[in-house]
Structure 1
Amino acid sequence: MAFQPTGVPPPPTAGDNIGPGGPSPYLHEDKPAFPINAAHRYGDGFFSFLAPVLGPVGSVMTAWQEKRNELDLPSPGTAEHLQREVKSTLLNNFIFDGARADLTKALSMNPIFQVTHAFSMGAQQAPSSYNFGAVYGSERYFLQGGLDDAGSVTIRANTGWADGHISKFQGQMAPAGGQSFAQFEHDYQGRDHSANIKALNPSPIDGTGIYIANYLQSLTRNFALGVEAIWQRPDANQQEAAIGYMVKWISDSKDAIATLQLQGQGIAQATYWHKLAENVSAAADLQLVTAGGRRDAQAALGAKWDFRMATYRAQIDSTGKISSLLETRLAPTLALTFAGEVDHFKNAAKFGVGLSLESAGGEVPLDPSIPPPTPPSVPV
């Protein structure tokens, strides 16, 4: 659960799969038009690329890293994706209402190039919208952009310029006041650790902005510990700092993952994910809030079933909501999505249906009997 400042729209999170299907202004990251492999090139050390320049200092760094490599600790992943398995199982990032349609044309697979037309209408709490999006990806660069009918322009650009190092930029220009933002970010993934620094709306003139840094380290083959620091200055007369901690546990067989995250704002989140069978997984999420005199708690329990041509998710939470979502592929280029949610405490319900249609250029075969070209590992 990432820190979210008041009045600033949350930027989209990175994922292994980038594709159409989501609401404006960003493309959906969980329904790719074709598989996209995320780059996982681990660096030997944060400054290993400077070893030839640093000379003797580089030799000491190399010797230190060799000692760490002897421990053969696994990569803990990143702080941003600490609960990735839980988020892919629960419905919080998938549920929708109304009707939507995604029309995608894949023009190339290596490098990746696709365009998307996304339509949505009939939602209870969102107006009808249209979004045009484009994605380009290669071994070194990843670019994603969108333009919606309200005039909002979004951009996302990543570049992997050294092993383990990925620099990122996300931005939005919106006609509505307070909706525009710019975020600069750098990711580093070592063999047994990861680090991230980011700046949201930084201003070198008056020093305002939000700055976040985190570090996650594997201590054993099953246990990782991390820390996150947040410093924000919304104006010249106000500033705030907070420290948070994160813990991750993975079973020996990697079929169970538990996480705990404590934030300085008085927020705690605990998650558990378990792979019950080859195609069945379950997840639980518990959030506690004690900030500002509040004492709130919310829990959710869900499961996901993967079939040959479909995926089904179901979830129940402590607020009285029962929801489910079915994604089924009727043909290699045609998919349907049905979503439903019933709120027993408020005596309310909502329903959604989605259509996804894909087409391809001459070099992208849609016949399942023809092996597609191998896509590049993009730096996401």
Structure 2
Amino acid sequence: MSTFNEKASAPTAFAPYLDAVTNLFHPVSGPVLNTYARFHGWKESMGLVQPGTVENVSKEVSNVHLANWFFDGARADVAKVVSANPAFQLTHSFALGSSSKPSSYNFGAIFANATTFLQGGVDGEGVVTMRANQTWSPSNITKVQGQLYNKPGQSMLQIEHDYLGPHHSFSLKTMNPGVLDGTGIHFVSALQSLSPRLSVGFETIVQRPQPGILETSTSYLAKLTSLPTLASSAAAALTPLGQPPVAQPFNPSWIATAQLQPSGNIQTTYFQKLSDKVDVALDLQTVIQPASMMGPAKREAITTLGAKYDFRMATFRGQIDSNGKVGMLLEQRFTPAFAFMVSGEIDHAKNASRFGVGIMIESSTMTQEEMIAAGMLQPV
């Protein structure tokens, strides 16, 4: 047995040549590798965190403010859970009497497991929408969105890929890409953590509506957060030795961001978690527009302050801006399968108002024991 191992580990005929090549490049590669190892060790000793992506740099503020949640008129969302693992759900959405858009109906389906998320829908006018997210690894995620209209020139396809490193992120996104002529709108963004609290990045937009037209613009941003919690530091320390560190989630108690746009406008946001159930968010946007054929010069700023309260069976969002607009949204869940929503907005400057009511109903083909095992219901 030992004779076989000795023969298996005996040097091959190419070993002298490989050693000669290694010795030839060692005077150049050795210092480079040593410098990189020292730089990597210095970077790890700084306690850097995963900063997230540029697209989600103000995600916490968007979760508090009403821009993505407000509705007017009447709406009803009916969902039927067919399976919990993998998740499969059918949805019916109705919207009636809205001042922002006419009455509509949408049928959708959602499928999700640990690595794949699929969502599709079709409305009463025949418009088909789809969305797909594929997680290849904890650091690589590909996203695809598409809309198919029954009118020519209105369909849309968007492809995006996010890479999340231990201390940085890099994203590529393209909208309606032209394979042959390179037309479309392309986005390149990156965010790098410089310290446990400070991250900086950029986003470049390349627009090519026609083969002979090319426009580029770049915006710069910075993100300042509270210090990482002990839980985040402990999770990062559990990475096995000899393996690249995995991006760990980081939930700071407060976040401040600033973005300088190509037009010279500045957008700043601030998010503060006051408690486990109360969040507040502030958004400031400047509008600097020089005089042109489109109109006179404009210099103004808009500030929006919002708060979100999470109760045991309800969520309340309220906000007010510097233009005198006040809004609110209440989502009251009476049972795990039924919720009632009411929203309202008053614009004092324009002497206008909007109001909306809605319900959400969720049913399931699963038994009570299966829903408790899936975490959908609390055991009695």
Shared fold (TM-score, shorter chain, > 0.5): yes
Aligned to 1:133, which of 93, 101, 108?
A: 108
In the superposition, relative to structure 1, how do residues 201 and 299 fare at CA in structure 2: closer, same or farther (>3 Å)? same
Aligned to 2:374: 372
Matches within 5 A, 1:192-211: 192-211=167-186
Aligned to 1:85: 60
Conserved? CA contact 1:108–1:363, under 8 Å: no
Provide the rounded CA distance (Å) in 1 between the counterparts of 2:354 and 2:145. 32
Give secondary structure in 1 for the equivalent of 2:340. strand
Aligned to 2:328: 324
Q: CA deviation at 1:69?
A: 3.3
Give secondary structure in 2 for the equivalent of 1:295. strand
Q: Deviations over 1:245-297 (max 9, x none)?
A: 11111112622110011121333210001112221111110111224544342
Q: Does 1:168 align with 2:139?
A: no
Conserved? CA contact 2:284–2:301, under 8 Å: yes
Q: Does 1:301 align with 2:305?
A: yes
What are structure 2's unaligned runs of at least 5 residues?
1-28, 230-251, 292-297
Q: Which amino acid aligns with 1:239?
A: L
Aligned to 1:235: 210
Give secondary structure in 1 for the equivalent of 2:206. strand
Aligned to 2:50, which of 59, 67, 75?
A: 75
Aligned to 2:261, which of 259, 263, 280?
A: 263
In the superposition, relative to structure 1, how do residues 202 and 363 fare at CA in structure 2: closer, same or farther (>3 Å)? farther
Q: Which amino acid aligns with 1:80?
A: E
Q: What's the TM-score, normalizing by structure 2?
A: 0.78
Q: CA deviation at 1:89?
A: 0.8
Q: CA deviation at 1:363?
A: 5.7
Aligned to 1:275, which of 273, 283, 288?
A: 273
In the superposition, relative to structure 1, how do residues 71 and 125 fare at CA in structure 2: closer, same or farther (>3 Å)? same
Provide the rounded CA distance (Å) in 2 between the counterparts of 1:87 and 1:192. 24
Q: CA deviation at 1:364?
A: 7.1
In the superposition, relative to structure 1, how do residues 224 and 205 fare at CA in structure 2: closer, same or farther (>3 Å)? same
Give secondary structure in 1 for the equivalent of 2:191. strand
Q: CA deviation at 1:354?
A: 0.7
What are structure 1's unaligned runs of at least 5 residues?
1-55, 375-380
In the superposition, relative to structure 1, how do residues 61 and 309 fare at CA in structure 2: closer, same or farther (>3 Å)? farther
Q: CA deviation at 1:206?
A: 2.2
Provide the rounded CA distance (Å) in 2 between the counterparts of 1:150 and 1:99. 19
Aligned to 2:21: none
Matches within 5 A, 1:1-380: 63=37, 68-252=43-227, 254-291=252-289, 293=291, 294-362=298-366, 370-373=372-375
Q: CA deviation at 1:371?
A: 4.2
In the superposition, relative to structure 1, how do residues 172 and 65 fare at CA in structure 2: closer, same or farther (>3 Å)? farther
Aligned to 2:26: none
Q: Deviations over 1:345-369 (max 9, x none)?
A: 11111110010000112267586xx
Provide the rounded CA distance (Å) in 1 between the counterparts of 2:270 and 2:282. 5
Give secondary structure in 2 for the equivalent of 1:86. helix
Conserved? CA contact 2:47–2:195, under 8 Å: no
Provide the rounded CA distance (Å) in 1 between the counterparts of 2:144 and 2:276. 37
Provide the rounded CA distance (Å) in 2 between the counterparts of 1:119 and 1:336. 14
Aligned-pair Cα RMSD in Å: 2.4
Provide the rounded CA distance (Å) in 1 between the counterparts of 2:35 and 2:336. 51
Q: Percent identity?
A: 45
Q: Deviations over 1:225-259 (max 9, x none)?
A: 11111111111232211111111111126221100
In the superposition, relative to structure 1, how do residues 257 and 364 fare at CA in structure 2: closer, same or farther (>3 Å)? farther
Q: Which amino acid aligns with 2:374?
A: P
Q: CA deviation at 1:66?
A: 5.6
Conserved? CA contact 2:106–2:123, under 8 Å: yes
Provide the rounded CA distance (Å) in 2 between the counterparts of 1:60 and 1:338. 62
In the superposition, relative to structure 1, how do residues 234 and 266 fare at CA in structure 2: closer, same or farther (>3 Å)? farther
- Greater RCO structure (CA 8 Å; 6+ sep): 1
In the superposition, relative to structure 1, how do residues 157 and 328 fare at CA in structure 2: closer, same or farther (>3 Å)? same
Q: What's the TM-score, normalizing by structure 1?
A: 0.78
Conserved? CA contact 2:85–2:113, under 8 Å: yes
Give secondary structure in 2 for the equivalent of 1:290. strand
Q: Which amino acid aligns with 1:283?
A: A
How many residue pairs match? The answer is 317
Q: Deviations over 1:98-123 (max 9, x none)?
A: 00000001111211111100000110
Q: CA deviation at 1:373?
A: 5.0
Q: Deviations over 1:175-194 (max 9, x none)?
A: 23443111111001111111
In the superposition, relative to structure 1, how do residues 334 and 60 fare at CA in structure 2: closer, same or farther (>3 Å)? farther
Compare 353-362 and 61-70 and name the one that shifted more: 61-70
- Between structure 1 and structure 2, the one with the greater Rg is 2
In the superposition, relative to structure 1, how do residues 328 and 68 fare at CA in structure 2: closer, same or farther (>3 Å)? same
Conserved? CA contact 2:81–2:88, under 8 Å: yes
In the superposition, relative to structure 1, how do residues 62 and 346 fare at CA in structure 2: closer, same or farther (>3 Å)? same
